[in-house]
Chain A
């Protein structure tokens, strides 16, 4: 009976393994029939949790709980209501600023604005989802910019109402870049960071803007740090995107 139980469990595990492989195969062959609803569910859940956590952290509830407890009991409800209103206004102001920046960008480049609907930090592949898809005219390969005009990545997968964006500096990606009109290669290391090398003596400074080769209009990174003394043959450049994907809610997709 004990051996039967073991055998049964192993059989279940084997069936689960086959099912999982089949799921991936069906998804690949159907070009997203399974991943599309899974991503939609994930985005909905992420959006709900993200909104709730923004309100809680912005209200200062956890930070000032001890202070509120000491204050007058009759003012507690009024203060909580006012803090909630301030957070709501603050969130809307931040959102409006991003929309204004996006509008300025739209005046120069045709495209659309979309919301980020997943956590880029949670992705092991340097990807995140946005709330626009084929129904909005998006296609694979479209450039995704921050509302301030920095290139964040490219669309790699499109469904009807959502798209998957791969970050420019996803781990393992190589990007051909230019800095002060000098070409070089950047290797992405995830989290918006990348490294590259330039010949010794190249005049590079912290804060220099990096562009993608062939596109001198939209910056992709800024130099954060350089390494290399007189004895080394090259200068190591550490570049990063100045945009923190975890804090922005809108992106602009150039069409």
Chain B
């Protein structure tokens, strides 16, 4: 299963660099649904470091943090 986790993270990373912000967003969601994935947080902050204009709210980072932590009860209930 770890290879799936690595594949999702890689797809999100490459998607965010080359194609569309939807790919890392979906990657963050999928990673957060199944694992306590710290790499989802790094995907979010990477998108903001790459593209965020100054004085703008870092939406991707905040979204990643919210997604990872809000899905913690679901992970606890159904996956462990």
A contacts, CB < 8 Å to B: 2, 6, 9-10, 12-13, 15-17, 20-21, 23-24, 27, 34-35, 38-39, 42, 45-46, 49-50, 118-119, 121-125, 127, 156-157, 164, 166
Contact B16 A17 (CB under 8 A): no
Asked, given contacts A38-B46, A122-B16, A122-B17, whether A20 binds B61 with beta carbons under 8 Å apart, the answer is: yes
A59, B65: Cα distance in complex, Å: 43
Number of chain B residues close to chain A: CB under 8 A: 34
A71, B7: Cα distance in complex, Å: 38
B contacts, CB < 8 Å to A: 15-21, 36, 38, 41-42, 44-54, 56, 58-61, 64-65, 68-69, 72, 76, 80
A15, B59: Cα distance in complex, Å: 20
- Give 29 CB contacts A-B under 8 Å: A2-B80, A12-B36, A13-B36, A13-B38, A15-B38, A16-B42, A17-B69, A20-B41, A20-B61, A21-B65, A23-B45, A24-B48, A24-B49, A24-B58, A27-B49, A35-B52, A38-B49, A42-B17, A46-B18, A49-B18, A122-B20, A122-B51, A124-B47, A124-B51, A125-B51, A127-B52, A127-B53, A156-B53, A156-B54
Contact B17 A45 (CB under 8 A): yes
A2, B42: Cα distance in complex, Å: 26
Asked, given contacts A49-B18, A157-B53, A164-B53, whether A9 binds B36 with beta carbons under 8 Å apart, the answer is: yes
Summarize A's interface: helix, strand, loop or mixed: helix
A38, B47: Cα distance in complex, Å: 10
A149 to chain B, nearest CB (A): 24
B57 to chain A, nearest CB (A): 10
